[in-house]
C-alpha cells in the first residue's frame, strides 16, 4: 500500500469532511456572482476565484478567473544519465527515481460561453484564454534526475515557465441523483511558451503544445430509477486524450510539460494516467491515453442527522478498467531510446463516492505490456483520491 497515497487520502478526507467543497464546475449560487475552485495537493493547494457578474454575450455565462497556489510535491523521473527511458526491470537498488519539488502556480484568464445548455444549466460551448505561470524548484540531489547534464535536461534543477493558452470546450455531461454520469464533453487547447516570455530566467523553455481530450458516459442499468437514493446502477465511461509538444528553435520541451497532458486541468502523463505504470515514466513530446471503465454504484448509504445537510448520502461501488497508452519521442534528438512504444494495464477496484467531497478508491492494478522499472507487474491495495476521469 502506498504510504503517500494513504496520507493524501486521509488529509483530504479530514480537511474536506468539515465543509462542502466548491468546484469550478458548479454554477455560482444565484445570490452571488462569485464562484470558487479549490484544488488540494498532498501538501498545499490552489485556489481559484471566479467572477460571473457580467455576461458578455446574452444567454451565456462569462467567468473571469484568478488562480494562485503552490505545494510540496513528490515526483519521479525514469531515465538514465544519458536521458534514455529505463527498460523494464532495469532499475537497481541504488537508483532513486523519486524526488521532491517545491512549486508555485498562478493563472489569470476568462471563459466565455458561446451557447447555453439548458440540460446542465452551464455553457454548452465555450472559449477560454489563460495566462499560466509556474515556478518549480527540484530537490534532486542524489536522485536519478540529478544524473543527466543540463545540456540534456535544462530544467533539471527547476524552471520558471510562462505560457498563453487558448482553447474551446463542448460540455453536455450530467450526473443524476444516483451518481450516474451521462453525456459527452470535448476540449481542445493550444499552449505557447516562447523563450522571450521570461522563460530563460531558470531553465530554457521555448515550445508550443496541442492537446485534445474527450470524455463520454453511457448509462447501462438502474434497478430503481424512481427511488430518491440509488439501489444499483451501472454505467460505462471512456476518456481519450492526445498531447503533442514541439520544441522551437532547437530547444527541448521542458520536463514538466513532457510529464503532463495539457488542457485546463493538466494531469500526469502516461505514468499513472495508465494505471499500474510507474508515475512520471514515459515522459515524451507525443503521448496518447485511452481509459475505459465500467462503474457499478451499489446501494446508497443515507447520512444521519445534521451530517445529511452537508452530505445527504454516500455511494459505495465497484470499478473495472482497461487503460492504453502510446508515446513517441519525436523531436527529442539524441535521447530517443526507445523512440516509441505502447503501454497497457487492467484492473479493478472498490470506491466510496462522497458527494461534494470526492471519491476514495482502492485499486488492484496489473500492467499488461511489460514489467515496470522495478520488475513488477501487479500492484495491490493502491489507494487514490478521485476518479481517473
Give the pLDDT of residue 29: 55
Task: For the chain, give the secondary structure using H, E and C.
Answer: CCHHHHHHHHHHHHHHHCCCCCCCCCCCCCCCCEEEEEEEECCEEEEEEEECCCCCCCCCCEEEEEEEEEEEEEEECCECCCCCECCCCCCCCCCCCEEEEEEEEEEEEEEEEEEEECCCCEEEEEEEEEEEEEEEEEECCCCHHHCCCCCCCCCCCEEEEEEEEEEEEEECCEECCCCCEEEEEEEEEEEEECCCCCCCCCCCCCEEEEEEEEEEEEEEEECCCCCCCCCCEEEEEEEEEEEEEEECCCCCCCHHHHCECCCCCCCECHHHHECCCCCCCCCCCEEEEEEEEEEEECCCEECCCCHHHHCCEEEEEEEEEEEEEEEECCCCCCCCCCCEEEEEEEEEEEEEEECCCEEEEEEEEEECCCCCCCCCCEEEEEEEECCCC
Return d(Cα 276, Cα 367) in angstroms, integer.
Answer: 6
The domain of 228 spans 3-385
Give the three cell numbers for residue 353: 463516492
CATH classification at residue 197: 2.40.160.50
Give the pLDDT of residue 124: 98
| pLDDT tens for each residue of 116-169 | 999 999 999 999 999 999 999 999 999 999 998 888 888 999 999 999 999 999
Arithmetic mean of pLDDT, 79-97: 90
Give the three cell numbers for residue 111: 471563459
Number of domains in the chain: 1
Most confident of 33-47, 79-93, 136-150, 211-225: 211-225
Average pLDDT, the chain: 90
Give the pLDDT of residue 94: 86
Residue 142 zone, left/alpha/beta (φ > 0; ψ -120 to 50; rest): left
Q: Are 317 and 295 in contact (CB under 8 A)?
A: yes
Query: Confidence band (pLDDT; 50, 70, 90) for 336?
Result: low
Q: How many CA atoms lie within 13 A of 299 on its CB side?
A: 2
Give the pLDDT of residue 10: 43
Amino acid at each position: 500500500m502506498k504510504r503517500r497515497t494513504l496520507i493524501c487520502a486521509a488529509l483530504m478526507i479530514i480537511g474536506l469532511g468539515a465543509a462542502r467543497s466548491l468546484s469550478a464546475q458548479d454554477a455560482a449560487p444565484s445570490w452571488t456572482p462569485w464562484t470558487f475552485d479549490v484544488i488540494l495537493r498532498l501538501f498545499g493547494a490552489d485556489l481559484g476565484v471566479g467572477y460571473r457578474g457580467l455576461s458578455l454575450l446574452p444567454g451565456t455565462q462569462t467567468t473571469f478567473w484568478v488562480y494562485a497556489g503552490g505545494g510540496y510535491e513528490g515526483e519521479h523521473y525514469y531515465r538514465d544519465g544519458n536521458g534514455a527511458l529505463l527498460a523494464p526491470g532495469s532499475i537497481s537498488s541504488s537508483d532513486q527515481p523519486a524526488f521532491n519539488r517545491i512549486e508555485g502556480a498562478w493563472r489569470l484568464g476568462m471563459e466565455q460561453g458561446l451557447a447555453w445548455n439548458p440540460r446542465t444549466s452551464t455553457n454548452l460551448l465555450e472559449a477560454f484564454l489563460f495566462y499560466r505561470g509556474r515556478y518549480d524548484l527540484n530537490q534532486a540531489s542524489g536522485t536519478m534526475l540529478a544524473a543527466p547534464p543540463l545540456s540534456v535536461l535544462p530544467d533539471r534543477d527547476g524552471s520558471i515557465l510562462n505560457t498563453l493558452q487558448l482553447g474551446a470546450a463542448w460540455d453536455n455531461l450530467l450526473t443524476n441523483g444516483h451518481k450516474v454520469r451521462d453525456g459527452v464533453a470535448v476540449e481542445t487547447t493550444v499552449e505557447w511558451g516562447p523563450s522571450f516570455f521570461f522563460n530563460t530566467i531558470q531553465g530554457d523553455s521555448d515550445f508550443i503544445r496541442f492537446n485534445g481530450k474527450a470524455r463520454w458516459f453511457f448509462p447501462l442499468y438502474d434497478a430503481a430509477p424512481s427511488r430518491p437514493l440509488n439501489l444499483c446502477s451501472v454505467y460505462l465511461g471512456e476518456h481519450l486524450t492526445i498531447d503533442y509538444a514541439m520544441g522551437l528553435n532547437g530547444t527541448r520541451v521542458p520536463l514538466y510539460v513532457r510529464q503532463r497532458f495539457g488542457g485546463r486541468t493538466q494531469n500526469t502523463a502516461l505514468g499513472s494516467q495508465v494505471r499500474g505504470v510507474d508515475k512520471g515514466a514515459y515522459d515524451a513530446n507525443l503521448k496518447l491515453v485511452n481509459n475505459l471503465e465500467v462503474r457499478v454504484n451499489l446501494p446508497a448509504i443515507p447520512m444521519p442527522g445534521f451530517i445529511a445537510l452537508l452530505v445527504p448520502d454516500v455511494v459505495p461501488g465497484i470499478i473495472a478498467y482497461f487503460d492504453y497508452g502510446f508515446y513517441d519521442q519525436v523531436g527529442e534528438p539524441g535521447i530517443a531510446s526507445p523512440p516509441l512504444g505502447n503501454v497497457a494495464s487492467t484492473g479493478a477496484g472498490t470506491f466510496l463516492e462522497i458527494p461534494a467531497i470526492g471519491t476514495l478508491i482502492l485499486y488492484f492494478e496489473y500492467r499488461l505490456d511489460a514489467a515496470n522499472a522495478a520488475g513488477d507487474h501487479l500492484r495491490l491495495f493502491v489507494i487514490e483520491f478521485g476518479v481517473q476521469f
